[in-house]
Amino acid sequence: MLSARAAATAAAASPLWKRGEGGSSGSGSGCTSCREVRRRAAAVRVRAAAPRRVEAVAMESAAETEKEEEVAAAGGGVEDMATEEVPVTPWAFSVASGYTLLRDPHHNKGLAFSEKERDAHYLRGLLPPAVVSQDLQVKKIMHNLRQYSVPLQRYMAMMDLQERNERLFYKLLIDNVEELLPVVYTPTVGEACQKYGSIFRQPQGLYVSLKDKYVCLALLEYPRICLPITIDVGTNNEQLLNDEFYIGLRQRRATGKEYHELMEEFMSAVKQIYGEKVLIQFEDFANHNAFDLLAKYSKSHLVFNDDIQAGTGIAELIALEISKQTKAPIEECRKKVWLLDSKGLIVNSRKESLQAFKKPWAHEHEPVTTLLDAVQSIKPTVLIGTSGVGKTFTKEVIEAMASFNEGRAVFASGSPFDPVEYNGKIHVPGQSNNAYIFPGFGLGVVISGAVRVHEDMLLAASETLADQATQENFEKGSIFPPFTNIRKISARIAASVAAKAYELGLATRLPQPRDLEKYAESCMYTPVYRSYR
């Protein structure tokens, strides 16, 4: 919004603000009502200015027009007339200065505003006198975060920072990614989701529910670039339904036609607003919906689902790689991979009751209900867990694996674990987290202008990550490089994914950059502060 000084300067220069061309007579092409609103807004700010600098919001309604001059003469502004009985329209003209700038998370720099910027943007007196660097701000916040003993408290403090100062938030995260990723992602984010209603502060993204059916197009018309979207179709969780702090749609989960109609409307609206190349990531959809949605919309939209494409998708990628290296048919290669679900080993005798996405993995074998029995019977060389159910790889399971596999165990978990000392040697438990793959994957899709996601692009991402494993990592007990290198890792993955998109004829950004890795790095977000005029 305009500061009083800016409004006064503008008012002195010209009696009216105008839109479009036109002279000082007011005969330009601007809207008369808009000019009148702006004139009155300027007048309110000028009257409110003496003797101190202020920020004002002009709020008005047709019913107030006659009373405005009386109230202004008494030294008040239009907002002084607002009552519960007389509705007002919240008009706000915004210029990034004063309190407005300090409350804008996209542009706020806190104490990092220079002396020159403080004078230019009316911050003098609104900040303590010290001018500090962004690096010092990061150091201070890390010191404060380390005082919290409860991970959720750290999460909430991080979210508060993001709402105040977006660039500082990302700078903090990038500079301390190994320490903070477990706070903003696995495992703390799971608890944050469960307690979302209790810790909710400011909206971050877009909320679409069944109440918004038929207006999805209108809801999507304002976001510009990247947006987290919650699609709320209700819940069957009794604890949430009875929780007074629950802020979601308080009704039973929609299914069938009602559910799919909302998804169809949403997906159509997204494509209509943003075009063919809008990238949609499905996140945390229940299996019975996730596979159907991916199968349906992968043919018409640019979509991926890191949950299921990191679940049975892993099995498919392994089979594809085996097929690629051995030239064997994919159907034969799938037989080298066995899957286990909550009911036991996926075998042919269960095929009639299996969901469609599991059927290709039903092999000939007697029914087996436990992982230990499956390990002892099939004698696999690798165990991969993607269900999210903990304590599945028990001591008995590991001992069974060790009984018929020679060599050292290679371990990686989804969640981070502290280093372990054993026989005088420090072992660093490896982490196999989708944060290694999908940020780089998404970047590769975007920088190539891909119009569809192909499984070969996922395979290219996996191969690139595998290529970055080193003997140095193995000696520490880790499979992958440390997360401190995640931006470099992501750039290489993005380059491989983009190259595959060009190879498959799915890329639209032409001509293809000569050095895709450097191009990927140049497209990455850099959260350093910018200087303001």
Low-confidence ranges of the chain (pLDDT < 50): 1-82
510 in the same domain as 464: yes
- The answer to the question of residue 125 being in a domain is yes
SS3 label, residue 221: coil
- The answer to the question of residue 351 being in a domain is yes
How do beta strands 430-431 and 412-413 pair? parallel
Alpha-carbon separation of residue 479 from 176, 375, 382, 433 (angstroms): 21, 23, 14, 11
Q: What is the DSSP letter of 394?
A: -
Which among 255, 279, 303 is the end of a domain? 303
- The answer to the question of residue 44 being in a domain is no
- Which residues participate in the annotated binding site? 283-284, 307, 433
187 in the same domain as 122: yes
Cis amide leading into 511 (omega within 30): yes
298 in the same domain as 208: yes
- The answer to the question of residue 160 being in a domain is yes
What is the CB neighbour count within 10 angstroms for residue 450? 24
Helix axes 287-297, 256-274, angle to 10 degrees: 40
Distance of CA 148 to the CA centre of its chain: 24
Residue 34, pLDDT score: 44
357 in the same domain as 287: no
Residue 387, pLDDT score: 77
What is the CB neighbour count within 10 angstroms for residue 451? 16
174 in the same domain as 210: no
320 in the same domain as 298: no
Residue 9, pLDDT score: 36
Residue 26, pLDDT score: 38
Which among 303, 333, 361 is the end of a domain? 303
Residue 127 domain boundaries:
98-197
Q: Over the range 180-207, which residues count as b (16 or more CB within 10 Å of their CB) and which as e? A: bbbbbbbebbeebeeeeeeeeeeeeebb
Which among 303, 322, 354 is the end of a domain? 303
What residues pair up with 231 in beta bridges, in sequence order?
208
Alpha-carbon separation of residue 256 from 116, 163, 164, 260, 267 (angstroms): 60, 37, 41, 6, 17
- The answer to the question of residue 402 being in a domain is yes
460 in the same domain as 488: yes
- Which residues participate in the annotated binding site for a divalent metal cation? 283-284, 307
Token pair 């440390």 is found at 482
Single out the residue of 357, 374, 520 nearest to residue 440, CA to CA: 520
319 in the same domain as 403: yes
- The answer to the question of residue 28 being in a domain is no
Query: Global pTM?
Result: 0.78
- The answer to the question of residue 257 being in a domain is yes
129 in the same domain as 184: yes
CATH of the domain at 380: 3.40.50.720
CATH of the domain at 132: 1.20.1370.30
CATH of the domain at 288: 3.40.50.10380
- The answer to the question of residue 417 being in a domain is no
pLDDT digits (tens, 9 = 90+) for 84-96: 567 766 665 666 7
Cβ-contact 281, 226 below 8 angstroms? no
Residue 92, pLDDT score: 57
322 in the same domain as 295: no
476 in the same domain as 445: yes
Residue 59, pLDDT score: 31
184 in the same domain as 235: no
Question: Total structural domains in the chain?
Answer: 4
- Which residues participate in the annotated binding site for (S)-malate? 433
